[in-house]
Amino acid sequence: MKLSNHGEFGLIERIRKLSFQKTLSARVGIGDDAAAWKISASHIALATTDLLVEDVHFDLSYTDYYSLGWKSAAVNLSDIAAMGGTPRFCLTALAIPAGIPEERILDFYRGFGALLRAEKTSLIGGDTCSSRDRFFISVTALGEARRSQIVTRAGARPGDRIFVTGPLGDSAAGMEILKKGRRGHGAKGGGRNAGRLVEKHLRPVPRVEWGRKIARSGCASAMIDISDGLSSDLSHICRQSGVGADIVSSLVPMSGSLAEAAFRLSKPALQYALDGGEDYELLFTVSASRVSRLRALKLPVTEIGAITRGKRIHLVNGEGKKSELHPAGYDHFRGLTRKR
């Protein structure tokens, strides 16, 4: 059987069935943003790991090492944020090709350390080895949360409102601008505010503080970070909660910079917002009775739809017409799973 037959998430589901987690006291195992287990009467530990591979996740022709270090930390801290936790420690394992000068690796750690410092998180270990021709980065983040306050992907219920913490699609447009620049079209292809989009792609800010506030308030029934794209990550919440969702296209938050860049890139801005990944905003659901509790937190969140019975996700347009929204993010064994 080829890996592309079941795709990345089919493979993970098969690995999960072979895992030994039922014999462990893990409260959350394979399938959520981070694994969680009880460490004391009041607290649980969180662990997550991500692998970044040169020419799969990043392109050194337009990525500087400082940003690469920052982003390697951000993608992991974002998974701790998605559980409502506080990151405490990181471990990094690098496989480095001979051609990379030591100073560039130190730049990587300057960027990595800048985000860790901002989040009061420490690097406590790792591993270093050589690689034949590509740079491989593996980061593990460890965190903690109060026991009653983690939020998984599995708690969304029909009627819950769906929220995101920020504009979507900026990162994907930023990547396209960078790719065009590499091909000699000039990095300004995305308009006056292209720099903002590029920065969002290269140095995303994980929503750690907001994730913690949302979790502590007890208002969220489910939460995930947007790493693969809204359509994909919402489908993870829906699958694990056994529900569907309606997303109102006019409510999906998009920045003015994205609108300008999308026009220049001749693609609908909404396509970046729905399917473009790596925004690292939080996507979460709140029961109608707890929306006021969320509003009291005064976070810059946007309501974009509601959880429904059934299993499908629909996009509702300006005239109230529904069309099915299929997950269209990136699958490592299938590439872009569906083009709009």
Quote the strand ranges of the chain, DSSP E. 26-28, 35-38, 43-53, 86-97, 122-131, 136-146, 161-164, 220-225, 244-248, 282-286, 302-308, 313-316, 322-324, 330-331, 335-336
Least distance (Å) between residue 102 CB and ligand ADP: 30
- For residue 331, the SS3 value is strand
Q: Please pick, from the candidates 54, 225, 278, 279, the single residue that binds Mg ion as defined by CB under 5 A.
A: 225
Contact status: 260 vs Mg ion (CB under 5 A): no
Q: How far is the CB of 53 from Mg ion (least distance, A)?
A: 17
C-alpha closest to that of 137 among 75, 225, 89, 62: 75
The item of ligand ADP, Mg ion, none sharing an interface with residue 15, based on CB under 5 to 8 Å by kind, is ligand ADP
3-state secondary structure of 41: coil
Of 3, 14, 15, 322, the one binding ligand ADP (CB under 6 A) is 15
- From 33, 160, 260, 331, residue interacting with Mg ion (rule: CB under 5 A): 33
What, of Mg ion, ligand ADP, none, does residue 50 touch, CB below 5 to 8 Å by kind? Answer: ligand ADP
Distances (CA, A) of 227 to 33, 75, 275: 10, 8, 10
Q: What is the CA radius of gyration of the chain?
A: 20
Q: Does 31 bind ligand ADP (CB under 6 A)?
A: yes
Helix axis angle, 65-82 to 102-118, nearest 10°: 30
**Binding region for ligand ADP (CB under 6 A) out of 26-34, 95-103, 130-138, 143-151:** 26-34
Strands (E), 66-166: 86-97, 122-131, 136-146, 161-164
Task: State yes or no: residue 278 binds ligand ADP (CB under 6 A).
Answer: no
Beta bridge partners of 307: 245
Q: How many residues bind ligand ADP (CB under 6 A)?
A: 9
How would you write 155-219 as a 3-class SS string?
CCCCCCEEEECCCCCHHHHHHHHHHHHHHHHCHHHHCCCHHHHHHHHHCCCCCHHHHHHHHHHCC
Q: Which does 31 bind (CB under 5 to 8 A by kind): ligand ADP, Mg ion, none?
A: ligand ADP
Tokens 């400082």 correspond to: 66
* Site residue total, Mg ion (CB under 5 A): 4
Q: Which does 12 bind (CB under 5 to 8 A by kind): Mg ion, ligand ADP, none?
A: ligand ADP
32 scored as a contact of Mg ion (CB under 5 A)? no
Q: Convert residues 193-232 into a mask of x (bound to ligand ADP by CB under 6 A) and - (unbound).
A: ----------------------------------x-----
Contact 51, 137 (CB under 8 A): yes
Which CB atom, from 227 or from 257, has the smaller least distance to Mg ion? 227
CB of 227 to ligand ADP, least distance (A): 4
Binding residues for Mg ion, rule: CB under 5 A, are: 33, 79, 225, 227
Binding residues for ligand ADP, rule: CB under 6 A, are: 12, 15, 30-33, 50, 79, 227
